[in-house]
Structure 1
Amino acid sequence: MNLHVDTKTVLVLIGLGHLFTSILIGAYWYGQPKNKLLHLFLLGKCAESVAWLGSALRPEHPSMLYLLIINAMLYIAAACEIMALLSLREELRPRTRRIYYALTALSIVGFALLELFYNKESVRVAYSSMVSTVILFPVYRMLIRRSATALMRVTGFLYVLVFALGCLKGAGALLSGSRIQTFTPSIFETLMVLSLFLLMIVENSGFVLLLKEKSDQELIRLASFDDLTNTLNRRTFALEANRCLAEHAKRRMPISFLLFDIDNFKVINDTYGHMAGDEVLQDMTSQIRSQLDREALFVRYGGDEFGIMLLGMDETASNRLAERMKESLGGAASRGLPAAYTISIGVITIVPDRQTELSTLYSSCDKALYMAKNKGRNHVQRAHLDGYLDERNESTTAS
C-alpha cells in the first residue's frame, strides 16, 4: 500500500488551517474584553501559518535567511502555544514567561549557528523537531495533574503522541545514512506530514475545547458561589445539602448543621463603612474555611448570615469545631482589619431519616442562634429538632 502523500499540498492545507482558525476565533472574540490568553494563541497561529505556507512555497534552493525565518516562526508559534495553555490553566507566571522568551531566542540563535557552521538538512530537521518538542513538553502535566478533566487528559495524551512522532522524526533524520531531501516521497516524509496534521488538530480543536470547558466551569462557579466570600449560594447549598441528607439517611450517619452570624455587624458597617464590612466577611470566611474539611458545605444565606453542614460529625466533634471557629477569629488587628469581631452560633446534630428537611434544621438552628445572642453574644448554643435548647451543651464564653 502506498502511504506517500503530496507534502507541499498538505503543508499548504495545514498553513491555511491555522490561518482560518485564527480568523474565526478572532472574529468570535471581536468586541469582547481583551484576553491576553487569546492574543498569545492567535499570535502563535499566525506565526505557524506563515511558517507552513512558507515551507510549502519555498524555492528549490532557499537561502539561509529564508530557512531561518521559517524556523523562527515555528519556535515562536510553539512558545506562544505553550504559554497560552499554561495561562489557560492559570500556571503562567512572569518568570515562566521570561523563560520562554529566552528559550525561543536561544532556539533561533542555535538554528542560525547551525546554518553557519554545520548546514546539513538532516541536522536542521532533527534540531527543529527536538526544539519544538522541548518547548511544548510541559503539556504532559495535563496527564498527571490530579484535578485534570477528561478533556485535559485526552488532549495531553494526543500531545504526547505528537511528541513521540516528533522524536521519531528527529531521530530518523540523524540516523539516516543519506542526505534527507525535503518534499521527496518517503516514509520519513509521510511520518513528518502525519505528525504535523495531527498536531494541527490537537492544537486548534484541543485549545478551543479547553477554553470552552474553562468558560463553562467559570459559569458554573458564578452560578454556584457567592462572589464576595466564595461560599456556596443558597440554591446550590440547598441542592447539595438535600443530597447529603438523603445519603446519610440511608447510611444512618450523623450530620451537624451550624448557623451563625457576626455580632453587631451593623455597627461595624455604620462605623467603618461597608468596604470594611466586606473585609470582615472575607476574613471570617477565610479563617473558618481553614478549620473545615473538604466535605463540609459552607453557605452564605445573605448579609452576614452563614451556615455549614458537617457530614458524619457528631455532637462532640461539632462542638469542638464551633469553638475552634470562634477562636480562629481572634487577632483581627494583626490581619489588618479595622475592628475586632465575634460570631454567635446555633448548632444541631441529627441522624437524618427520609423525612428530614433542611428547612427544619435551619429553623431549629435559628432559634438557637437567637438565644446565643440573648446570652451576650460570642456563644455556641445547641438545639434539637423540636426546638428544645440543650443548656448542657452551650458554650458560655463571653464577648
Structure 2
Amino acid sequence: MQLDTPKKTVGTLMNLLLDPKTFLISLGIGHLFTLILISVYWRGFTRDMTIKAFLLSKCAQAATWLFQAFRGDEPGFLSLSFPNSMLFIGASLEVIALLSLQNKLRPRTPRIYFILTAAAILGFQLILLLNNKESVRVAYVSFVTALLILPLYRMILGKSVTLLMRMMGYLYLFVIAVSLSRGAAAVFSQHGWGTYSPAFYQSMVSLSLYIVMILGNAGFVLLLKEKSDQELIRLASYDGLTGTFNRITFTSKAKQALQECAKKRKPVSYMLFDIDFFKAINDTYGHTVGDQVLQDLTARIQRLLSDSDLLVRYGGDEFGILLPGADEAESTLIAEQIRQALLDANTRGLPVKYSISMGVLTVAPDEHTQLETLYAACDKALYSAKNSGRNHVYRSQADLQAAFL
C-alpha cells in the first residue's frame, strides 16, 4: 500500500478546503442567510435607511457569488458583467449603510455613490468589449472595490468611535489591502488571478473573503445592537427637549463629582435658576414658543460651560448647574456671563425676550456634603433673587456646616 507524501497530502487537503466553487456557494449562502436573519429580527425597522441599504447590499452580494459559482468554466459577456456589476452595487450599498449607522452619511453621499457605481459598471463593460483579458478584469474590479470602500477608514477615527466600530474599521482596511494587493498582483504577475484560478494566493484571497463575510455581517448586527443600546442610554439619561441631563443622571454624576472634589480638596459651586415669568410666556405665545425658549436657553448656557460642568433640567423651566472645582469668583463670573448671554435672546428668531433668576452657592465639600442640602440652600437664594426684582443672581451666604453633620 502506497502512502501519499506529506506534500501531496497537503496539496490535496488545500484543494479540498479551498475549492473555488464551494467557497463561492458558501459566500452566497452566508450573505443570503444574513439577509433573512436581519429581515426577520429587524422586521419593524426595514424601512430605516441604514437597514434597508445593508439588506440590499446583501441581496447584491449573494447574487454576485451564487451567479459566479454557477456561471461555468467559459464565461460569456453576461456571466462576467452581471456578477461584477452586483459586486460594485453591493459594496456601495454596504458603505452607505455603515456610514449611516455611524451618523457620518452626508446628504450628497448616496448621490455620489450612485454616480461612482454607475461609472464603475460602465467601465467594466468597456473592458469586456475592448480589452477582455482576465488580468485586466481582475485588476479593475480589485482597484475599484478598494476605492468604493475606502471611506470606511473613518470608522477608526474620532473620539466617539467605540472599540467595536474601530475593529470593524480595521476589518475593512484589511479588505482594502487585500483588494489592492490582488489588483497589483494581477497587473505584474504572469499567473492567473481569476476566481477559478488554482493559484495559492487566489485561495488565500477567497479565504479572506469568507472570513470578512462572517465577521462583517456579524459585526454589522452587533453595531446595530450597540447603537440601539446607546440610544436607550441616551433616552434614559438626557432630557428629550433640551438635551441636558435629567434629574436621575445628574444626581448620580453630581454625587461622584462632589466625592472627587472632597478627596482633592477642591471647591464646588452650584447654581439653581429658572426663567422669569415663564408661565406668562406659555400663556401668551403658546407652548411651542415656550419650548423654543427652553432650547435657546440651554444652547446658550452649554456654550459657556466646560466638559466637566453638569447641566440638568429638573422639570418645567427649572435648571441646575454643578461646577466642580469652581470657586466663588469663578462661579460669579460664569453666572454673570449666563445672565448677559440671554439679554439678546429675541434677536435669534424668538418673538419674546426672557431672563432668568439664579441662586448660587460655593462650598468646600467633604465626605458629608449632600447634593440635596446644596439644592435647598440654592433654592432659597433663587427666591431671594426673584424677590429682588428678577433677572438677578443671588449668592447664598447660608452656613451649611451644621447641615453637613
Question: Is it true that 1:213 corresponds to 2:223 in the alignment?
Answer: no
Cα 1:360–1:58 change in 2 (3 A) is same
Cα 1:378–1:180 change in 2 (3 A) is closer
Contact 2:193 2:202 in 1 (8 A): no
Show structure 2 runs of 5+ residues with no match. 1-9
Q: How many angstroms apart in 1 are the aligned matches of 2:307 and 2:122?
A: 50
Judge which range, 272-281 or 352-361, deviates more: 272-281
Superposed displacement of residue 199, structure 1:
2.1
Question: Is it true that 1:74 corresponds to 2:87 in the alignment?
Answer: yes
Of 232, 241, 256, 1:228 maps to 241
Q: How many angstroms apart in 2 are the aligned matches of 1:331 and 1:11?
A: 66
Superposed displacement of residue 387, structure 1:
6.3
Counterpart of 2:369, as a letter, is T
| Helix, strand or coil at the partner of 2:236 | helix
Counterpart of 1:258, as a letter, is M
Of 148, 152, 168, 1:139 maps to 152
- Equivalent in the alignment of 1:157: 170
- Equivalent in the alignment of 1:375: 388
- Equivalent in the alignment of 2:300: 287
Superposed displacement of residue 32, structure 1:
4.2
Q: Alpha-carbon deviations, 1:248-299, whole Å to 9, x = none?
A: 1100011111000000111111111111111111111111111111111100
Contact 1:165 1:191 in 2 (8 A): no
- Equivalent in the alignment of 1:300: 313
- Equivalent in the alignment of 1:260: 273
How many percent identity over aligned positions?
53
Counterpart of 1:18, as a letter, is H
Q: How many angstroms apart in 1 are the aligned matches of 2:114 and 2:177?
A: 25
Counterpart of 2:263, as a letter, is K
Counterpart of 1:86, as a letter, is L
Question: Is it true that 1:362 corresponds to 2:375 in the alignment?
Answer: yes
Question: Is it true that 1:47 corresponds to 2:32 in the alignment?
Answer: no
Contact 1:162 1:198 in 2 (8 A): no
Q: Alpha-carbon deviations, 1:181-229, whole Å to 9, x = none?
A: 5423221221221121122123201111111111111100000000000
Contact 1:75 1:107 in 2 (8 A): yes
Superposed displacement of residue 166, structure 1:
1.6
- Equivalent in the alignment of 1:393: none
Provide the aligned length of Structure 1 versus Structure 2.
388
Matches within 5 A, 1:1-399: 1-2=10-11, 3-4=14-15, 5-32=18-45, 34-180=47-193, 182-386=195-399
Superposed displacement of residue 179, structure 1:
4.2
Contact 1:250 1:353 in 2 (8 A): yes
- Equivalent in the alignment of 2:7: none
Superposed displacement of residue 116, structure 1:
1.1
Counterpart of 1:17, as a letter, is G
Q: How many angstroms apart in 2 are the aligned matches of 1:243 and 1:118?
A: 69
| Helix, strand or coil at the partner of 1:31 | helix
Cα 1:385–1:56 change in 2 (3 A) is farther
Cα 1:33–1:336 change in 2 (3 A) is farther
Contact 1:287 1:328 in 2 (8 A): yes
Q: How many angstroms apart in 1 are the aligned matches of 2:123 and 2:231?
A: 41
Counterpart of 1:217, as a letter, is Q
| Helix, strand or coil at the partner of 2:44 | coil
Contact 1:255 1:310 in 2 (8 A): yes
Cα 1:349–1:199 change in 2 (3 A) is same
Superposed displacement of residue 127, structure 1:
1.0
Q: How many angstroms apart in 2 are the aligned matches of 1:60 and 1:68?
A: 15
Superposed displacement of residue 366, structure 1:
0.3
Moved over 6 A (4+): none
Cα 1:331–1:117 change in 2 (3 A) is same
Counterpart of 1:352, as a letter, is P
Counterpart of 1:152, as a letter, is M
Show structure 1 runs of 5+ residues with no match. 389-399
Judge which range, 350-359 or 28-37, deviates more: 28-37
| Helix, strand or coil at the partner of 2:108 | helix
Contact 1:360 1:385 in 2 (8 A): no
Contact 2:58 2:90 in 1 (8 A): yes
Contact 1:159 1:202 in 2 (8 A): no
Counterpart of 1:241, as a letter, is A
Superposed displacement of residue 33, structure 1:
7.0
Q: How many angstroms apart in 1 are the aligned matches of 2:151 and 2:45?
A: 30
Counterpart of 2:174, as a letter, is L
Contact 2:45 2:51 in 1 (8 A): no
Counterpart of 1:63, as a letter, is G
Contact 1:263 1:341 in 2 (8 A): yes
Counterpart of 1:317, as a letter, is E
Contact 1:344 1:380 in 2 (8 A): yes
| Helix, strand or coil at the partner of 1:94 | coil
